[in-house]
Amino acid sequence: MTTPALLPLSGRRIPPLNLGPPSFPHHRATLRLSEKFILLLILSAFITLCFGAFFFLPDSSKHKRFDLGLEDVLIPHVDAGKGAKNPGVFLIHGPDEHRHREEEERLRNKIRADHEKALEEAKEKLRKSREEIRAEIQTEKNKVVQEMKIKQNKPLPPVPIPNLVGISGGDPEDSDIREKREKIKEMMKHAWDNYRTYGWGHNELRPIARKGHSPNIFGSSQMGATIVDALDTLYIMGLHAEFLDGQRWIEDNLDFSVNSEVSVFEVNIRFIGGLLAAYYLSGEEIFKIKAVQLAEKLLPAFNTPTGIPWAMVNLKSGVGRNWGWASAGSSILAEFGTLHMEFMHLSYLTGDLIYYKKVMHIRKLLQKMDRPNGLYPNYLNPRTGRWGQYHTSVGGLGDSFYEYLLKAWLMSDKTDHEARKMYDDAIEAIEKHLIKKSRGGLVFIGEWKNGHLEKKMGHLACFAGGMFALGADGSRTDKAGHYLELGAEIARTCHESYDRTALKLGPESFKFDGAVEAVAVRQAEKYYILRPEVIETYWYLWRFTHDPRYRQWGWEAALAIEKYCRVSGGFSGVKDVYSSTPTHDDVQQSFFLAETLKYLYLLFSGDDLLPLEHWVFNTEAHPLPVLHLANTTLSAEHGHLAEAAGHLMFVGSVPLLPIQTVQRDGSGCSGDPALQQRQAVEASCGINPGCIRGTEEEWELTVAG
Ligand code: DMJ
């Protein structure tokens, strides 16, 4: 039986394959179906190969083909000379001549640019100091280690969760206050719902354009900054469905392996602070895991010759750099000095000392430096370890550095005396050189610029009223009353800066010059971008004094925000607080949900919601629990801590000690005399038995503290 030919075989006969004795010993003019199939396969494989070779081979091999003379076939002919109007100018024939010419040009430019870039890089390398090259190598190494860690996705070891007091409640008894609190909650809902509808996943919202907004501090990726920043506010307001929605987005979408250059400071205070607070409030592990993953991505920023981190870091490459505008390539005091709270919690939660070491190193370095008039300048060069321009402020560029010194002490259950001393010293110098009273009797904080006091106070500096009140208790001899009073004076001045505007909202900065008091003079300083600092100060003063004026002032601000900043798509900043017909800036800042609305809500809540003896708010208003571990660590009833290897504990008045898995009989400790000495100190602290892990350097730090 012959099989009908499927393909015309041009009369050629193909002999049958000799695979054994043929069942029908005869010659055939046609092929069997299976044979045809095999032939078809071979043919199609050949065709695929030919096409594949052309389309999928690397560019360079295509170029080689051109070199072999195929360019005439594959690209239109390029002709110079004779017929050309301008000799030396090439004429390209063919319908796509323009496109091809551009393509060629692009290719040439790319090669030229790559070449120049490589040259520049080589030159740059030669210019670098040994330390810098070493730091770069370290960055690379760390990156590899971190990537491995992340890949392993190890669950974090369990640690005892600090005492979490007052994570809900605070219902006011007074019906008027209850109503006000409800109103603030409604404002939060409006801000969140609109972000949910128009900006979901973007970093912030443009409430008028009704679309996402991405400020450069969060890099080029959509990292949902508003979601992360708002979570704890949603939680304490009891907006649990919204909280869950945010949590799901984080679980499914929040990814830090992105090629994006972010601000180390902003990402720390908003993301790490926000995630840690969400973790402590809700107990959901995912927040802790994400916080740690992100923190690992920030670590390369510390690989500078001095260990003072860069302002920005690329989350993927780990390459860091500073803001172009910062004095002589400096890092900023308020940025590298506002990592302590979050990093201490990271070390506590992971048992990894690296975070603790990074921030303690910064502290040690600052302690060693001379300070003009006892003041910390805002700029420090991370390459040389020298101060940049002598500019000191309690507002932008300096603010939260002072705040974190105080809060490091509070967060350590008041055992980190070193931080408290640094805070007290700094505040004394600030009071002496920067705090003045205006002719009209308003106390303000000026800025020190190259040996001269500028009588200008920023909105940002208004947070200091709350800081002075918070630091009053525990201040040097007989000064508690004084600092509470100073806090109240700053609150009054900042309230005046609001009250003297058309909108009853404060400008970005205001002057005290002759007749002008607490008023912005330059147009560029008249905006209000939904900032929280003044309301933050009202809240702290309310908690410490219960003076009703603070609730009244807070309510005035809330009404003004509602009236002038609310739009149907959310809340927006305004460009001029002195104009009764405001223009909106069309940005709903993430800190509006994290801070402004949270402080307002707390202002109209009872003190039992997030009590200040148990919680310390980071500079983005994310509450972190006080680590009350001093007398409980390793005691019999806290045996579980002893089992959690490599975790941190507070020992009496010293900062943090790393501990090894503790053996109750003391066994397992090294015979090293230094370790034995540590054990002796440990025993004298009432922690017995146990042994301590860590290098000499850490130990010295601990004892010195
Ligand atoms: C917030 O991100 C933080 O409060 C920071 O410390 C300073 N400024 C903004 C809000 O104004």
Best substitution site from 269, 540, 590 to test ligand 1's pocket, by max atoms within 8 Å of Cβ? 269
Q: Provide the residue range defining the domain that includes 442.
A: 198-629
Q: Considering only CA atoms, which of 290, 174, 190 is closest in space to residue 237? A: 190
Q: Which of 204, 508, 586, 682 is catalytic?
A: 508
DSSP codes, 208-222: TTTEEE--GGGTTS-
Tokens linked to 148: 């491995």
CA distance 433 to 375: 8
Q: What percent of the chain has a predicted confidence (pLDDT) above 90?
A: 64
* Least-confidence region, from 442-451, 471-480, 685-694: 685-694
Contact 224, 202 (CB under 8 A): yes
Q: Is residue 66 part of a domain?
A: no
**Which residue's C-alpha comes closest to atom 6 of ligand 1?**
619
* Least-confidence region, from 81-95, 534-548, 650-664: 650-664
Using the Cα atoms of residue 364, residue 366, residue 372 and residue 373 in order, give the sign of their dihedral.
negative
pLDDT recorded at residue 623: 98
Question: Roughly how many angstroms between the first and final C-alpha of the chain, as a whole number?
Answer: 99
Q: Is residue 528 part of a domain?
A: yes
Instruction: Give residue for tokens 């994400």.
Output: 290
Q: Considering only CA atoms, which of 303, 272, 307 is closest in space to residue 289? A: 272
Q: How far is CA 123 from CA 136, 303, 322, in A?
A: 16, 21, 20
Q: Is residue 678 part of a domain?
A: no
Q: How far is CA 651 from CA 33, 539, 637, in A?
A: 86, 32, 17
Confidence of residue 91 (pLDDT cuts 50, 70, 90): very low
pLDDT of residue 206 exceeding 50: yes
pLDDT recorded at residue 630: 52
Q: Maximum CA pair distance of the chain? A: 121
Q: What is the CATH number of the domain that holds 495?
A: 1.50.10.10
Please calculate the CA angle 269-415-371 and round it to the nearest 5 degrees: 65
Query: Is the bond preceding 689 in cis, omega lying within 30 degrees of 0?
Result: yes
**Backbone angles phi and psi of 657, in degrees to 5:** -120, 135
Q: Is residue 660 part of a domain?
A: no
Which amino acids bring their CB within 6 angstroms of ligand 1? Answer: 400, 460, 531-532, 591, 595, 619-620
What value does the mean pLDDT take over residues 318-338?
Answer: 96
Q: Which of 399, 517, 620, 682 is catalytic?
A: 399
pLDDT, tens digit, 9 for 90 and up, residues 228-257: 999 999 999 999 999 999 999 999 999 999
Instruction: Give residue for tokens 């709903």.
Output: 588
CA of 531 to the centre of ligand 1 (A): 7
pLDDT of residue 28 exceeding 60: no
CB-side exposure of 191: number of CA atoms within 13 Å? 36
* Least-confidence region, from 82-86, 288-292, 571-575: 82-86
pLDDT, tens digit, 9 for 90 and up, residues 143-165: 676 666 555 556 667 777 888 99
Among the atoms of ligand 1, which is closest to the Cα of residue 536? 4
Best substitution site from 262, 394, 397, 400 to test ligand 1's pocket, by max atoms within 8 Å of Cβ? 400
Q: How far is CA 661 from CA 114, 356, 687, in A?
A: 53, 19, 13
Residues shown for the chain: 705
**Which residue's C-alpha comes closest to atom 8 of ligand 1?**
460
pLDDT of residue 90 exceeding 50: no
pLDDT of residue 683 exceeding 50: no
pLDDT, tens digit, 9 for 90 and up, residues 485-528: 999 999 999 999 999 999 999 999 999 998 899 999 999 999 99
Contact 528, 522 (CB under 8 A): no
Q: Is residue 47 part of a domain?
A: no
Beta partners for 132? none
Number of domains in the chain: 1
Q: Residue 267: enclosing H or E segment and its boundaries? A: none
pLDDT recorded at residue 10: 32
pLDDT of residue 77 exceeding 90: no
Show binding-site residues: 619
What value does the mean pLDDT take over residues 86-103?
Answer: 55
Sheet holding 312-314, edge to edge: 261-263, 312-314, 320-321
Confidence of residue 103 (pLDDT cuts 50, 70, 90): confident
Confidence of residue 130 (pLDDT cuts 50, 70, 90): confident
Residue 508 a catalytic site member:
yes
Among the atoms of ligand 1, which is closest to the Cα of residue 463? 4
Please list, in sequence order, all residues whose beta carbon lies within 8 angstroms of the beta carbon of residue 600, skipping any fewer than 6 positions away: 184, 187, 535, 539, 554, 557, 558
Q: Looking at per-residue confidence, does 225 or 13 come out higher?
A: 225
pLDDT of residue 141 exceeding 60: yes
Among the atoms of ligand 1, which is closest to the Cα of residue 403? 6
Residue 489 a catalytic site member:
no
Among the atoms of ligand 1, which is closest to the Cα of residue 621? 4
CA of 458 to the centre of ligand 1 (A): 12
CA distance 649 to 627: 9
pLDDT, tens digit, 9 for 90 and up, residues 287-326: 999 999 999 999 999 999 999 999 999 999 999 999 999 9
Mean pLDDT, the chain, integer: 81
- Are β-strands 331-332 and 379-380 bridged in parallel, bridged antiparallel, or unpaired? antiparallel
pLDDT of residue 17 exceeding 60: no
Q: Is residue 405 part of a domain?
A: yes
pLDDT, tens digit, 9 for 90 and up, residues 369-404: 999 999 999 999 999 999 999 999 999 999 999 999
Q: Which of 136, 242, 533, 682 is catalytic?
A: 533
Q: Is residue 356 part of a domain?
A: yes
Confidence of residue 31 (pLDDT cuts 50, 70, 90): low
Q: Is residue 403 part of a domain?
A: yes
Q: Which of 136, 204, 232, 266 is catalytic?
A: 266
pLDDT of residue 19 exceeding 80: no
pLDDT recorded at residue 325: 95
Q: Looking at per-residue confidence, does 159 or 422 come out higher?
A: 422
